[in-house]
Amino acid sequence: MPVVHLTNKNFKHVAIDSQKPVLIDFWAEWCAPCRRQSSIIEQLADELDGTAIVAKLDVDANPELAGQFSVMSIPTLVTMKAGKIVDSKTGVTSREELLKMINSAK
């Protein structure tokens, strides 16, 4: 399943209302570490194949959502389940660590 690109319009439907675990990558185009994280995110989305939602949120295009999650540095990765935050990490995070985060949200 491809990565979902979150916006103000689809955030509630995709991230809050989902009964599946949700991994959100808060990123920005100009952020070099975010570009490194992006390839891991893409791989994970393919690997999970719909068992969890893997999403990206551009903090420059959606600053109010980034503010709601108190994102101070990017990349920031957050896992959610049923609209509640389960875990979060800041900085480039390995595939293995992201899988642990997703599994803790199941």
| Residues annotated as part of the active site | 31, 34
- Of the candidates 26, 87, 80, 22, which has an alpha carbon nearest to the alpha carbon of residue 50? 22
* Residue located via tokens 């985060």: 101
Residue pair 105/21 in contact by the 8 Å Cβ criterion: yes
